[in-house]
Amino acid sequence: METMKKTALSYIDQAAAFFTELSDEIWGCAELSLKEFKSTALYVEKLKELGFTVTENLGGIKTSFCGSFGSGRPVIGILGEFDALDGLSQKAGCTEPDPLVPGGSGHGCGHNLLGAGSLAAAAAVKKYLEATGKPGTVIFYGCPGEEGGAGKAFLAREGVWKALDAAVSWHPGSANQVTSGSNTSSIQVLYNYKGIAAHAAGNPHIGRSALDAVELMNIGVQFLREHMTSDCRIHYAVTDAGGISPNVVQSRASVLYMVRANRVADAVGLLKRVDKIAEGAALMTDTTYERVFIDGTADVLPNYTLEKLLFANMEAVELPSYTAEDQALAEALKKTYPSSGIKGLDVCSDEAVREQIIAMSNNGQKAINDFLCPHFSCEEHFPGSTDVGDVSWLTPTAQISAVCWPSGVPGHSWQIVACGKSPLAHKGMLYAAKVMAGAVIDLLNDPETLAAARAEFEKRSASGYVCPIEPDAVPIAL
Ligand SMILES: [Zn+2]
Ligand SMILES: [Zn+2]
C-alpha cells in the first residue's frame, strides 16, 4: 500500500475514540426519520471541528447536510445515515430485551455506526488530500430519513447526486462483504377518504362511507394483482378505519399503499393504476379523497467496477480481531433468536462461493463472522428497498457491509440496539471506514478506474432516471 494512503488510514485508528464516541452519542439520540435534529446538530459541530465546509438544510430538508473538503475533480461522496427505529429502545450490552426508555426508539439498524463510520472515512480522505496537495474533493453527506422518508431520493430530485464522480457507502451487518445486486423500487402514497357521517340505522341514505371507499379500493387492487408482472408487489395498511362505532357511517378513513417493482419506472407506472382504482372507489361511494405522496425509492444500479475496488480494499485492510468479551456478547445474543441461516449468502447465488462461505462460517456456527466473504457481483433484485438506489441512478455507487453484530441477528431488532455501543460494533465501523477511505483514495489516484466506473454507470442507466419523488412532494415525518 502506498505510504501516504497508509498514513491516511492509520489516522482512523489514531482518532478512533473521536468517531466511536460520536457513534455512541448518536446511539443515545435515537431520533426517528426526519426528526434527527439533535443528531444533525452533533454532526454539524463535528464536521466543523474536523475542518469541513458545511452546508446545512441541504435540498431544503432541515436534517440534511453535507461537509466538503478539497478542490476540483474528482468529487467523491461518502454517504452517512443516522436515523433510528420506533419501539426498539434497549439497554446497551444487555442480552435480554430490556428497554432503556419503555416504548422509546433505538438504533435497530445500526445507523449510529453507519454515519460515524462514513464520517471517519471522509476525515481520513481529507487527511490524505491535505498531506498530498492533490486535486479532488471529498463530501460527507448526512442523509436523513432512510428508514422512512427516503431522504436521498428527495435529494436526488434536487439534483444533489448528479454533481458527484462517484459515491460509496456501507451498512453495518453480520458479514464482511461487498454489497452487490439490486433492491426493488418502492413508492408510498396515502389515500384519505372523506364521506358524510350519519346514523347507520336511522339515516343511512344520508351517509356516505369513507370506510366503504377504502374497502372497495382494497378489493380493486386485489383484482389488479393478477394483472401485473411478477416482480411487482402491492402492500397496504388501513391507517384509519374511521372510528370504532358500527352505528355511525364512517366519514373518514385512510389507507396507506406501498407499490413495488424491480425498476423504478415500472413502480411509477403501477402506481398510476392504483391511483385510478382510488378514484374509482371514490366514485362508487360518492366520497372524496385526498392523495398524499409519502416517499419513494429507486432500485439500485450495481457498479461492478467500484465493487471490485471496494473488495480489493477489504482485502488490503486488516480484519478486526475479537476479544473473549466480544465473543461472549455475540454468543449470548445469538442464543436469543432462532438461527436464520448464514449471513453473506443472501447476495450469493453462486454455488462455489456459497460453499466457501459455509466453510468459513463453520456452517453458520460462528457467533462472529470474522472472515471476508469472497468477492461476488450479481444482477439479482433482492426484496426490500433503499434510497441508496436513487444515488446509484445518478452517479456510480457501491457499498459494503461490515460485521458489527452477531451472525444471523434479525434486522431491526433489540439485539442490534444492544450491540450498537459495543467494541464489536466499533471494530466493524472502523474497518468499514478504512475500506471506504482506501477506495476513495484509490479513485483520486486512478482516473482509469473512475472512467471505467463511469462507463459502466452510463450503460446501466441508459434508460434514464425516473425520480419516484413527485414534483410537488415534501418530505413527511410519519
Ligand atoms: Zn433499516
Ligand atoms: Zn439501515
- Output the nine-digit C-alpha cell for 27: 446511539
CA separation for the pair 388, 390 (Å, rounded): 5
Residue 170 Cα to ligand 1 midpoint, Å, equals 12
- Listed as ranges, residues in the chain with pLDDT below 70 are 340-348
Residue 32 Cα to ligand 2 midpoint, Å, equals 12
Residues in Cβ contact with 341 at an 8 Å cutoff, skipping those fewer than 6 apart: 364, 408
pTM for this prediction: 0.96
- Output the nine-digit C-alpha cell for 296: 419513494
According to the model, what pLDDT value does residue 348 have? 66
- Output the nine-digit C-alpha cell for 259: 407499490
Geometric angle at alpha carbon 74, from 471 and 9, rounded to 5°: 115
Asked if omega into 423 is within 30° of 0 (cis), the reply is no
Residue 387 Cα to ligand 1 midpoint, Å, equals 11
- Output the nine-digit C-alpha cell for 315: 482485502
How far is residue 204 CA from its own chain's centroid?
A: 48
Residue 109 Cα to ligand 1 midpoint, Å, equals 5
Residue 206 Cα to ligand 1 midpoint, Å, equals 46
Residue 384 Cα to ligand 1 midpoint, Å, equals 10
Residue ranges with CB less than 5 Å from ion ligand 2: 109
Residue 401 Cα to ligand 2 midpoint, Å, equals 11
Rg (CA), the chain: 24
CA separation for the pair 152, 111 (Å, rounded): 15
According to the model, what pLDDT value does residue 380 have? 87
Asked if omega into 302 is within 30° of 0 (cis), the reply is no
Kindly identify the ligand whose nearest atom is closest to the C-alpha of 179: 2
Are 185 and 260 in contact, with CB atoms under 8 Å apart? yes
Three-state secondary-structure class, residue 316: helix
Residue 11 Cα to ligand 2 midpoint, Å, equals 26
Amino acid identity, position 434: K
Residue 288 Cα to ligand 1 midpoint, Å, equals 35
Residue 150 Cα to ligand 1 midpoint, Å, equals 12
Residue 420 Cα to ligand 2 midpoint, Å, equals 13
Integer angstrom CA distances of residue 359 from 208, 339, 356, 364, 435: 63, 17, 5, 8, 24
For residues 119-154, b (16+ Cβ closer than 10 Å) or e, as one string? Answer: bbbbbbbbbbbeebeeebbbbbbbbbbbbbbbbbbb
Residue 319 Cα to ligand 2 midpoint, Å, equals 22
Which of 14, 82, 13, 9 lies closest to 43, judged by CA? 82
Residue 79 Cα to ligand 1 midpoint, Å, equals 15
Residue 170 Cα to ligand 2 midpoint, Å, equals 9
Specify the length of the chain in residues. Answer: 478
pLDDT digits 0-9 by tens, 340-376 = 666 555 556 788 888 898 889 988 889 999 999 999 9
According to the model, what pLDDT value does residue 397 have? 98
According to the model, what pLDDT value does residue 161 have? 98
Residue 321 Cα to ligand 2 midpoint, Å, equals 24
Three-state secondary-structure class, residue 451: helix
Residue 201 Cα to ligand 2 midpoint, Å, equals 50
Residue 209 Cα to ligand 2 midpoint, Å, equals 39
Residue 253 Cα to ligand 2 midpoint, Å, equals 31
Residue 145 Cα to ligand 1 midpoint, Å, equals 10
Kindly identify the ligand whose nearest atom is closest to the C-alpha of 412: 1
Residue 36 Cα to ligand 2 midpoint, Å, equals 15
Geometric angle at alpha carbon 98, from 94 and 102, rounded to 5°: 140
